[in-house]
């Protein structure tokens, strides 16, 4: 991907307020320059649509041949559904049933088809691994794996399949005593703190 496209995607994420730049205290206690609020993506469909349009172009270029777009519940459902609509493909989602990633029985057409997986943010890839395993059980070929944001800074293949990220952004987190943003005196923000009723 050209740097221009990465910048373009970064700008769209910032516009949707899904990606905040500043000085944040993460739930781990570490500090970071970036904070993702992925709920903002589905909260603003018009902003999400612009991002999905770019994802759709990437999918068309890299994995043109498949019948289904599959997304794990819940955050990626809107993203995968919108991509499927624009691509003229079918859509299905997986959900956890007693800890196991499963398909609703109504999605029987997935069996034996070709599918791509669309996920919102790649961090460890755990959910995608489970979806790939579920598709294997159904004799469904995985034609591609796509994520809006690759936070790993260069995704490793999952089950031998390359992962294609629209935005690659490695998010560094610092212990407070070595945090460069603390040293610069930038005010620390604790995301979500304003939501909590005392
Ligand atoms: Zn700090």
Using pLDDT thresholds of 50, 70 and 90, give the confidence band for residue 194: low
For a pLDDT cut of 90, what percent of the chain falls above it?
Answer: 56
| pLDDT on residue 197 | 41
| pLDDT on residue 59 | 97
What is the Å distance from ligand 1's center to 155 Cα?
27
Q: What is the pTM of this model?
A: 0.86
3-state SS assignment for residue 81: helix
Using alpha carbons, select from 118, 173, 180 the residue that is nearest to residue 143: 118
Per-residue model confidence as pLDDT tens digits over 140-192: 999 999 999 998 877 788 888 889 999 988 888 999 999 999 999 999 999 87
What is the Å distance from ligand 1's center to 35 Cα?
13
What is the Å distance from ligand 1's center to 143 Cα?
41
What is the Å distance from ligand 1's center to 191 Cα?
13
CA 54 distance to own-chain centroid: 14
Per-residue model confidence as pLDDT tens digits over 30-74: 999 988 888 888 898 999 999 999 999 999 999 999 999 999 998
Dihedral angle sign, alpha carbons of residues 36, 117, 163, 88 = negative
What is the Å distance from ligand 1's center to 182 Cα?
4
**Higher-confidence position of 196 and 110:** 110
What is the Å distance from ligand 1's center to 28 Cα?
13
Exposed e or buried b per residue across 84-96, where buried means at least 16 C-beta atoms within 10 angstroms of its C-beta: bebbebbbbbbee
């Amino acid at each position: 991907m050209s740097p221009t496209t990465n910048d373009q995607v970064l700008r769209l994420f910032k516009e949707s307020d899904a990606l905040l730049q500043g000085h944040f205290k993460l739930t781990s206690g570490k500090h970071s320059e970036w904070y993702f609020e992925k709920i903002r993506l589905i909260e603003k469909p018009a902003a999400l649509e612009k991002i999905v349009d770019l994802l759709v172009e990437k999918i068309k270029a890299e994995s043109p041949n498949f019948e289904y777009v599959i997304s794990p519940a819940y955050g990626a459902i809107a993203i995968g559904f919108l991509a499927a609509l624009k691509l003229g493909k079918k859509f299905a989602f997986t959900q956890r049933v007693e800890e196991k990633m499963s398909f609703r029985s109504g999605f029987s057409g997935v069996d034996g088809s070709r599918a791509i997986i669309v996920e919102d943010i790649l961090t460890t890839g755990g959910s995608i691994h489970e979806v790939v395993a579920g598709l294997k059980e159904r004799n469904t070929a995985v034609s591609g794996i796509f994520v809006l944001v690759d936070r790993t800074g260069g995704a490793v293949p999952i089950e031998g399949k390359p992962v294609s990220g629209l935005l690659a952004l490695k998010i560094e987190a610092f212990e407070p005593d070595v945090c460069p943003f603390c040293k610069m005196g930038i005010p620390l923000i604790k995301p979500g703190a304003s939501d909590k009723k005392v």
